[in-house]
A = this chain, B = another copy of it.
Amino acid sequence: MSAIAPDLAGLLARRVASAGPALMRAGAAGAAGVIPLTYGFPDPGSFPVAEVTEATRAALAARPGDALQYGPIAGAVPLLELLVAKLAGEGIRATPENLLVTAGGSQGIDIVTHLVIDPGDAMLVEAPTFIGALQTFRNAEARIFEVPLDPHGLDVDALESRLASLAADGIRPKLLYTIPTFQNPAGVTLSAERRPRLVELARRHRFLILEDDAYSELRFDGEPLPSLYSLDPEGHVVQVRTFSKILAAGLRLGYVVAPAVLHSRLLQLKVDVGTSPFGSHVAATYASDGASLTGRLDAHIVRLRAIYRERRDAMMGALEEFAPDGVTWTVPSGGFFTWVTLPAGLDAVELLPAARAAGVDYIPGPSYFAAGGGSRHVRLAFSFLPPTDLIEGVRRLMGVVAQVRR
């Protein structure tokens, strides 16, 4: 970046004057010949192109004056109706007063963060956690404290200890950000037993849980678990969700599910005059099969589960086959990611140039930690590439790991 002239530099807000460089999301393609196991992009082959084209035609024919006009700030009516039906199918009784359509899940995270965080306020995140959320929390000048994960998700005992030690220091966190199901980046899922305990801690210690539920619909194995929001629907949980993983990331459609008492406050922070009515009408039109508001979308999600299950299996199989001793990884029951731990003494940041030279790319662990550390870890995404590429990518990466160990 060019240098900033002193008088412009003096105008910058603290958050941009002091923070590191922006998160640059590179294109998924990367360098030629390099297999990107990096970003959590959905499978482009899964996009229902013909159906979205037809849905656009139908939506613009039926309601051009709504789809191309300003719409309600909380969301276009047909999309809110779809969401009410979709949530009802999951056992969540929501009304439009519980809903806010957002630009992807990320805008939901941003708005909920600004709902509660004043500069300097304390909050809790999982370690590791989603890079984009960390950037949002830093922009909000939150004081970020970490809680570790284990194979059963957020370590609720560690959280309880953390709350106690923070309280002893006079620090009361206002917000806890968690991705309980098929966590990004770790691929782990909060156990059924821990879920009510976590909600109870929020009630007792009076913090808000920001539940990022981007991946739960993409479950490959086992039975669905209740969301945190469903355990406390008008209480201490706000959920952010997205169509990015179940329909098309390019629509940039997400939504917030929140206690109704927070609705007008959330609207106050939604200063973009509403999320795309165009995209919203297209998505709602797409989702319905005529018999049910969610019928076509539901069927599509079933297809997506099969696609991503096959990719998960391919990556797991390749890790089994190619990983040298000392490498471990999580086995996700859904979602887009596995979290690899390198043998002691190896550093994922230092390894990256050799990996790229060998034709594979990944994001090293430290990006996912608020307080640094995590350099033995690697996030691998299995969502974007077909199984053959995933297998070859893992083979290359594990070849580099084996070579460096020798």
Residues on A facing B (Cβ under 8 Å): 1-5, 7-8, 10-16, 19, 21-25, 27-28, 39, 41-42, 44, 47, 49, 52-53, 56-57, 60-61, 64-73, 102-104, 106-107, 109-110, 114-119, 121, 132, 135-136, 139, 174-175, 206-208, 236, 244, 248-252, 259-265, 267-279, 281-282
Contact = CB atoms under 8 A, between A and B. Distances in A.
A401 to B, nearest CB: 28
Contacts of A281: 250
Contacts of A49: 60-61, 64, 68
Given A13-B118, A57-B57, A70-B41, A8 B109 contact: no
A260 B2 contact: yes
Contact of A24 (B13, B16, B67, B73): B73
B236 A16 contact: no
Given A53-B56, A272-B107, A22 B265 contact: yes
A284 to B, nearest CB: 13
A47 B68 contact: yes
B72 A25 contact: yes
Contact of A117 (B13, B252, B269, B277): B13
24 contacts: A2-B260, A7-B236, A8-B236, A8-B259, A11-B174, A11-B208, A13-B114, A13-B121, A16-B115, A19-B268, A22-B267, A22-B270, A23-B268, A24-B73, A27-B72, A39-B70, A44-B68, A56-B60, A103-B103, A119-B119, A139-B269, A249-B277, A250-B277, A252-B277
Contacts of A5: 261
A139 B271 contact: yes
Contacts of A260: 2
A280 to B, nearest CB: 9
Contacts of A68: 44, 47, 49, 52, 248-251
A272 B110 contact: yes
A44 B72 contact: no
Contacts of A41: 69-70
